[in-house]
C-alpha cells in the first residue's frame, strides 16, 4: 500500500491487518510499521509478488490540489505504480479516486451512480487528474487481464487530521452563491477503509462510489459548524474572484471549486452496499469528527462580507499593479 502513513492509510492498514492480510505499508514519511519509500524513484516491484494486491493511496497533499505541478506529480506516481504492477504481475490494483471525476454540472442527477459519465470540471485540475489516472488504469487492466478497482470517494474525513480538500471546499464557500448551493457529502476514513477490505476480499473489479448515505444542505452545514446563518448571496463569478484573491494572499481556497459549490455531485453508494458494505458514520458524524473549525466560523455575515470583499479588493490591487508593470514594460520595448 502506498501512502500508508497518511490518516486514511493508517485506517486502511488497521482494517486489512484485522482481516488477516499481510500489509507492506510504504510512504515517503515512514511511521510505525511503514517502510520509507520514494515512489518517484524507488522500485515498487521489488515489494510485490505475483497475485498480490496494490492499494494506491499516495498523492500530493490536497492543499496543492488543482495546481499544475501537483497534477504532473500524481500522474507520474500513478505511472510508476502501473509499471510496477505489470512487472510484478500483481492480481489486483485498487485506485483511490474521487467523486469529483463526475464533475459538478447543472444537469447532474441526484445522486450520481457509477453509470454516470466521467466529465470533471476543467477549472479544477484535481478532478481531471483523477479521471486521467482512472483511464490509465483501464488501459493497464486491458493489457494485463488483471483486476482494476476504482474507489470514487466523497470527501474523506478522519479523526484528528483535517482533510485539505474539505478545508478548501469549506473556505471557498465563505460566500454563498446567488445561483444556489450544492449539497455536501462525506465519508469517514473508517468506512473508506472498510470499503477497501470488501473489494480486496472479493477481488471485485470496476468503479465503486464510496460515501455516507444521503447528503447535507448548506444551512445544515453552517449549523454543524456552529456558524451564524449566512444570508449574503453573490454571483458565481464573484465567488470565483474572491476565492482567487484569497488564494493569492495565502488562503485555503480555489476559484475552480465554484462549480462544486453550485451544482450537485453527490453519489449513490448502492453498488458498494450490494457487496455487503455499509457505512457506520452519517455525513453529519463524519463532518463533526473530522473537520476543524474555519476562521469564518462564528463570524457574523456582515463581517464575513467585509473580509471577503477586502480580500477581493487586495487581489484586484495586486492585479492592477501587475497590469501597470506590464504596460510600462511594453512602452519601454
Domain ranges of the chain: 7-230+259-294
Answering whether pTM is above 0.75, one says yes
Q: How far is the CA of 23 from the CAs of 80, 104, 150, 191, in angstroms? A: 20, 36, 19, 19
Phi, psi of 149 (to 5 degrees): -120, 125
Residue 302, pLDDT above cutoff 60: no
Average pLDDT, the chain: 87
C-alpha cell at 131: 479521471
pLDDT for position 15? 96
Its sign, for the CA torsion 57, 273, 212, 134, is positive
Phi, psi of 266 (to 5 degrees): -75, 150
Angle at 209 between CA 269 and CA 286, to 5 degrees: 75
More confident: 225 or 44: 44
* First-to-final CA distance of the chain: 55
Distance separating alpha carbons of residues 310 and 176, to the nearest angstrom: 16
Q: Which CATH superfamily is domain 7-230+259-294 in?
A: NAD(P)-binding Rossmann-like Domain (3.40.50.720)
- Residue 26: which pLDDT band, with cuts at 50, 70 and 90? very high
Over residues 98-106, mean pLDDT: 97
The helix/strand/coil state of 251 is coil
- Residue 307: which pLDDT band, with cuts at 50, 70 and 90? very low
Q: What percent of the chain has pLDDT over 70?
A: 83
The DSSP H or E segment spanning 55 is strand 53-56
Q: Which residues contact 152 (CB under 8 A, 6 or more apart)?
A: 97, 98, 99, 101, 102, 114, 207, 208, 209, 210, 267
**pLDDT, tens digit, 9 for 90 and up, residues 164-199:** 888 888 888 878 888 889 999 999 999 999 999 999
- Residue 126: which pLDDT band, with cuts at 50, 70 and 90? very high
- Winning range, highest mean pLDDT, from 57-61, 205-209, 308-312: 205-209
More confident: 250 or 330: 250
Q: What percent of the chain has pLDDT over 90?
A: 66
More confident: 102 or 65: 102
Residue 128, pLDDT above cutoff 80: yes
Residue 295, pLDDT above cutoff 60: no
Is the Cβ–Cβ distance between 243 and 236 less than 8 Å?
A: no
Residue 301, pLDDT above cutoff 50: no
Q: Which of 43-57, 215-229, 288-302 has the lowest mean pLDDT?
A: 288-302
Buried b (16+ CB within 10 A) or exposed e, 11-32: bbbebbeeeeeebbbbbeeeee
Over residues 19-30, mean pLDDT: 94
pLDDT for position 227? 67
Where are the extended beta strands (E) located within 189-239? 206-210, 233-234
Task: Estimate the share of the chain in helix, then strand, then coil, as percent rounded to the nearest 5.
Answer: 50, 15, 40
Over residues 90-98, mean pLDDT: 97
Over residues 2-11, mean pLDDT: 93
Phi, psi of 36 (to 5 degrees): -65, 125
Distance separating alpha carbons of residues 193 and 78, to the nearest angstrom: 20
Amino acid at each position: 500500500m502506498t501512502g500508508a502513513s497518511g490518516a486514511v492509510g493508517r485506517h486502511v492498514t488497521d482494517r486489512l491487518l484485522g482481516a488477516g492480510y499481510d500489509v507492506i505499508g510504504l510512504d515517503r514519511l515512514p511511521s510505525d510499521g511503514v517502510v520509507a519509500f520514494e515512489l518517484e524513484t524507488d522500485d515498487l516491484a521489488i515489494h510485490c509478488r505475483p497475485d498480490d494486491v496494490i492499494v494506491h493511496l499516495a498523492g500530493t497533499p490536497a492543499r496543492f490540489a488543482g495546481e499544475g505541478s501537483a497534477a504532473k506529480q500524481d500522474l507520474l506516481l500513478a505511472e510508476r505504480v502501473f509499471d510496477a504492477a505489470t512487472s510484478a504481475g500483481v492480481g489486483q490494483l485498487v485506485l483511490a479516486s474521487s467523486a469529483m471525476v463526475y464533475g459538478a454540472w447543472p444537469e447532474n442527477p441526484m445522486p450520481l451512480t457509477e453509470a454516470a459519465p466521467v466529465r470533471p470540471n476543467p477549472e479544477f485540475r484535481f478532478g481531471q487528474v483523477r479521471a486521467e489516472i482512472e483511464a490509465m488504469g483501464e488501459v493497464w487492466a486491458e493489457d494485463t487481464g488483471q483486476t482494476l478497482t476504482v474507489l470514487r470517494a466523497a470527501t474523506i474525513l478522519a479523526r484528528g487530521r483535517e482533510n485539505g480538500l474539505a478545508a478548501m471546499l469549506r473556505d471557498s464557500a465563505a460566500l454563498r452563491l446567488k445561483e444556489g448551493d450544492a449539497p455536501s457529502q462525506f465519508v469517514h476514513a473508517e468506512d473508506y477503509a472498510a470499503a477497501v477490505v470488501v473489494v480486496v476480499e472479493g477481488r471485485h473489479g470496476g468503479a465503486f462510489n464510496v460515501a455516507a448515505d444521503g447528503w447535507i444542505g448548506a444551512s445544515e452545514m453552517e449549523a454543524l459548524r456552529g456558524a451564524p446563518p449566512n444570508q449574503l448571496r453573490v454571483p458565481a463569478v464573484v465567488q470565483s474572484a474572491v476565492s482567487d484573491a484569497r488564494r493569492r494572499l495565502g488562503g485555503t481556497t480555489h476559484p475552480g471549486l465554484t462549480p462544486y459549490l453550485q451544482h450537485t455531485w453527490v453519489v449513490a453508494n448502492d453498488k458498494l452496499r450490494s457487496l455487503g458494505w455499509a457505512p457506520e458514520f452519517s455525513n453529519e458524524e463524519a463532518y463533526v469528527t473530522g473537520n476543524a473549525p474555519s476562521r469564518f466560523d462564528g463570524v457574523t455575515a456582515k463581517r464575513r462580507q467585509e473580509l471577503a470583499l477586502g480580500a477581493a479588493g487586495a487581489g484586484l490591487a495586486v492585479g492592477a499593479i501587475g497590469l501597470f508593470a506590464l504596460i510600462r514594460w511594453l512602452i519601454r520595448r
